[in-house]
Amino acid sequence: MLKKPLPGQYNGPTEFPFSDIKFLESYPTLHEYLTCTQWDARTIRTTSTLLFFVENGVMKVCLNDRDNNRSAFFTAPTMEELMSEMEVKLASEKVDWRTRSRQANQPGYTPF
């Protein structure tokens, strides 16, 4: 039933698939990473993902920028501080990005 659209036929969703006004207001840059499905030129963009975990009593998150084959890690003592730190660094473009492994660049590979 699912058919691939012809070139120029698909422009992506016209609305964000995730709608949370408080999240958007608090973390606009992070919201864009997670929900934006198109680049400025109207080309399709793969949304980013987040993986939260706690290790040794410290809250951690991995932001996986799937469209650019890179990841960034953030740590903080609380969830609120973690989210704020992520937003500030993303907005200021002061993120220590790590290139994904060769395995991660293989077609169909989805780490999370």
Q: What is the DSSP string of 39-89?
A: -TTS-B-PPPEEEEEEETTEEEEEEEEGGGTEEEEEEESSHHHHHHHHHHH
Residue 109 lies in a domain: no
Residue 108 lies in a domain: no
Q: What is the CATH number of the domain that holds 86?
A: 3.30.160
Residue 7 lies in a domain: no
Q: Residue range 71-78: average pLDDT?
A: 96
Give the range of the structural domain holding residue 46, as residue numbers without chain letter: 21-102
Tell me how many domains the chain contains: 1
pLDDT of residue 16: 46
Calculate the alpha carbon distances from 42 to 9, 14, 31, 64, 111 in Å: 12, 11, 18, 22, 26
- Helix, strand, or coil here: 99? strand
Residue 79 lies in a domain: yes
Q: Check whether 28 has a pLDDT greater than 70.
A: yes
Residue 4 lies in a domain: no
pLDDT of residue 13: 53
Residue 34 lies in a domain: yes
Q: Which residue did the predictor score with more confidence, 20 or 54?
A: 54
Residue 5 lies in a domain: no
Measuring CA to CA, which residue among 94, 92, 88 is closest to residue 76? Answer: 88
